[in-house]
A and B are shown apart, each in its own frame.
Chain A
Amino acid sequence: MHQILTAVFEPGFFGSAQVHVAVTIGGIVAVVSAVVGVFTVMRGQSFAGHSLGDVSAAGGSGALLIGLSPVAGFVGLGAVGAAVMDLIGVQRLRGRDLATGIVLGAAIGLSALFLYLTATTGATTGATQQVLFGSIFTTSSGTVPVVSILGAVSLAAIAVIYRPLLLSTVSPDIAAARGVPVRLVGVAYMLALAVSVGLSSLAIGAILSTALLIGPAATALRLTRRMAAALGVACLIGVLATWLGVLLSYDSYHWGSSHLSLPVSFFIVAVIFVTYLGSGAAGSRAARAATRHRASITPAAQHEDIAA
């Protein structure tokens, strides 16, 4: 028994301070991303969610350049980017993606410039990698309070606009007819998204930011029929994938003879990806069962062609 435990949890796992930080930050970010992510997938705004990661990165590299706190850069520019996306975005889906893409392009262009200037002024090395890929294991414990507060802000915003957001996601027309300020609610959501993505890009890198935002939410939406269940399942998947990824990455150091040690981001994304694929298979089986069930109890709705 002891041998199995040490095989799964390599020695030092529970004692490692790095692991503690990774598990804490990862857990918080996973929960916030899952909640915001459910709405993001429902609204079909995965592109915006991903793009804000890169926009935040531009803020991060800009902050590095002028010596500002990275948090301010990540979240600040992310919020500005979200506002601009909403401002120039048209209501039509294609126009909106185009606007998102343009903002993204401009932001990455800025990133390029900031990183170049950082390198030439000799500020920090490895800046590109740090900003783009981040690392949950090298994030310091000092960021835990910031991450917690920003995460709470994002969740609070979603809680406040929960029902109008849900209604305007189902149908903007119906919501507007009920007096919901659809545009404002949309902007509020985008800002919550920007804060969530900004803090997750900072803490765990741009790759994971998108993966934790979209993956667990998309999986949960395939499996559940109610909002509460979707939110719960998304959080569960996100947190479990994160913790499992941390564990596997820690363990991988001991695999093979040459310290294989693969990055956390790889494992977490892999777990999320496989879970999504699995839910596809499970979901379609459930859907087929549900259709069979309904067909057996509802009277057949025949199309009778009666000449007018």
Chain B
Amino acid sequence: MTRSDHIAVTPEILRVDQVSVTLAGRQILDEVSFSIQPGEFTGLIGPNGAGKTTLLRVILGLQRPNAGLVTVLGQPRSPRSQPIGYVPQKVLLDPDLPMRARDLVALGLDGNKYGMRLRSGTRGQAVREMLHAVDAERFADARVGTLSGGEQQRVLIAHALISRPRLLLLDEPLANLDLRSGQEIISLLARIAREQQIAVLLSAHEMNPLLPVMDRVVYVAGGRAASGPADEIVTGEVLSRLYGHRVDVLHVHGRVLVVAGSGDDQLASVPLPTGEAG
């Protein structure tokens, strides 16, 4: 759907409108549109290099799009906007970094304020609660650089959430985790999102771990995106139109497999569903 003029009943958390991005002569994103409702758990799925990170950076205001608009709670992004929680893809936490997990989470409260901080008792309380919520109390006093991948992930999520954002973005959080840690992170995220009504947008190239918890899929391929419930979007028909060649979707024991075709049947570009159901 292009610029729709229907009146939203519930204010959307995030609206991406016809966003296009060209980098180094290559078109990464082509008129991508979708929106997210409060509290929704959305998977941003697509093959590597599809532009997921670029899209997340545009939403955060770190990358300016060549065309299109991003609004969060109806406002375009600016340094003074509502905070969006963000867990980037590769955060190299130096073993030397003199910060305990606890300190890194505390920094999430005021890491962007100038001047020296005055002591405050409520800080400690908020940090303790957050550490408890992500089940990180065991290693709260360890140096962040010495934690395992999964443990660091939890700390970074706590850091992102402590400033009470309405929207949380995670870039490929499952990429470097073993299967079990990945599943733990997903259940954790789903629980927190439900309890605190936080919208989560999580990018991944493998959607199966997310199937149980996703409310919506935004599938990105070939620079374009389709958005909606998983069973509507993850179909051979929709994905073939996205990829621009024949793609089949197989269901095996409750898992989804996306299989590329021979690649020689080009399909005309037709409008893609953006999930703008009322």
A binds B: yes
A residues at B contact (CB < 8 Å): 38, 41-42, 159-164, 166-167, 170-171, 173-181, 220-222, 224-227, 229-230, 287, 290-291, 294, 297-298, 301-306, 308
Within 8 Å CB of B83, what residues of A?
178-179
Interface string of B89-108 (1 = CB under 8 A from A): 00101101111100110010
**B84 at the A interface (CB under 8 A):** yes
A257 to B101, CA, bound (A): 57
Leading 10 A-B pairs by shortest Cβ distance: A167-B111, A179-B79, A177-B86, A230-B98, A173-B88, A178-B112, A177-B60, A303-B178, A180-B112, A171-B91
- Determine if B88 and A226 form an interchain contact, defined as CB atoms under 8 angstroms apart: no
The residues of B that contact A222 with a CB separation of less than 8 Å are 96
* Chain A interface SS verdict (over half): helix
Q: How close is A151's CB to chain B, nearest CB, in angstroms?
A: 17
Q: Please measure, in the bound complex, the distance between the C-alpha atom of A249 and the C-alpha atom of B150, giving whole angstroms.
A: 52
* B111-A180 in contact (CB<8A): yes
Which of B6-14, B19-27, B33-41, B136-144 interfaces with chain A?
Answer: B136-144
Q: Can you list 26 A-B pairs with a CB-CB distance of less than 8 A?
A: A42-B96, A42-B97, A159-B116, A161-B114, A163-B107, A164-B111, A164-B112, A164-B113, A166-B111, A170-B91, A173-B88, A174-B87, A174-B156, A178-B86, A179-B83, A225-B98, A226-B103, A227-B99, A229-B98, A287-B146, A290-B146, A291-B146, A298-B139, A303-B178, A306-B179, A306-B180
A294 touching B99 in the complex, CB below 8 Å, given contacts A167-B111, A173-B62, A177-B60: no
Report how far A164 CA is from B80 CA in the complex, Å: 15
How far is B83's CA from A179's CA once the two chains are assembled, in angstroms? 8
Q: A291-B146, A301-B181 are in contact. List 7 more A-B contacts (CB 8 A).
A: A42-B96, A162-B115, A177-B169, A181-B79, A224-B98, A225-B99, A303-B180
Interface flag for B241 (CB, 8 Å): no
Q: B146: which A residues are within 8 A, CB to CB?
A: 287, 290-291
Q: Which residues of A contact B116 (CB under 8 A)?
A: 159, 162
Q: Decide yes or no whether B117 CB sits under 8 A from chain A.
A: yes
Interface SS of chain B: loop
Give the residue name and chain of the A residue nearest to B110 (CB). Answer: A163
B255 close to A (CB within 8 Å): yes
Q: A180-B112, A225-B143 are in contact. Are A301 and B98 (CB under 8 A)?
A: no
Question: What is the minimal beta-carbon distance from A149 to any residue of chain B, in angstroms?
Answer: 20
Do residues A225 and B100 form an inter-chain contact, with CB atoms below 8 A? yes
Query: Could you tell me if A294 and B142 are in contact, using CB atoms closer than 8 angstroms?
Result: yes
Q: How distant is the Cα of A226 from the Cα of B97 in the complex, in angstroms?
A: 8
Q: Is B122 an interface residue (CB 8 A)?
A: no
Closest to A38 in B: B98
A-contact 0/1 string along B124-156, CB 8 Å cutoff? 000000000000001101110010101000001
Q: Is B216 in the interface zone, CB < 8 Å from A?
A: no
- Do B142 and A226 touch across chains, with their CB atoms under 8 A apart? no
By the criterion CB–CB under 8 Å, are B88 and A167 in contact? no
A170 pairs with B179, CB closer than 8 A: no
In the complex, how many angstroms separate the beta carbon of A241 from the nearest chain B beta carbon?
A: 20
Given A160-B114, A166-B107, A173-B88, A294 contacting B96 (CB threshold 8 A): no
CA distance A222 to B98 in the complex (A): 9
Q: How far is the CA of A308 from the CA of B96 in the complex (A)?
A: 36
Residues of A within 8 A of B246 (CB): none
Residues of A within 8 A of B117 (CB): 163
B208 at the interface (CB under 8 A from A): yes
Among candidates B80, B91, B150, residue contacting A174 with C-beta atoms closer than 8 Å? B91
User: Judging by beta carbons under 8 Å apart, are B94 and A42 in contact?
Assistant: yes
Docked pose: A175 CA to B100 CA in angstroms: 18
- Chain B residues lying within 8 Å of A166, measured Cβ to Cβ, are 107, 111
Verify if B52 is at the interface (C-beta below 8 Å from A): no
Complex Cα distance, B178 from A287, in Å, reads 25
- A178-B98 in contact (CB<8A): no
Q: Are A163 and B113 in contact (CB under 8 A)?
A: yes
A174 near B139 (CB under 8 angstroms)?
A: no
Query: In the complex, which residues of chain A have a beta carbon less than 8 angstroms from the beta carbon of B163?
Result: 178
The answer to whether the Cβ of B224 comes within 8 Å of any Cβ in the partner chain is no
Chain A residues contacting B169 (CB-CB under 8 Å) are: 177
The answer for the CA separation of A171 and B90 in the assembled complex, in Å, is: 9
CB distance from B76 to the nearest CB of A (A): 14
Q: Which residues of A have CB within 8 Å of B88?
A: 171, 173-174, 177
B159, CB-defined interface residue at 8 Å: yes
Q: Are A226 and B91 in contact (CB under 8 A)?
A: no
**CB of A294, distance to nearest CB on chain B (Å):** 7
Residues of A within 8 A of B96 (CB): 41-42, 221-222
B252 to chain A, nearest CB (A): 10
Q: How far is the CA of A162 from the CA of B179 in the complex (A)?
A: 38
Nearest Cβ in chain A — how far from B32, in angstroms? 19
B residues in contact with A159, CB < 8 Å: 115-116
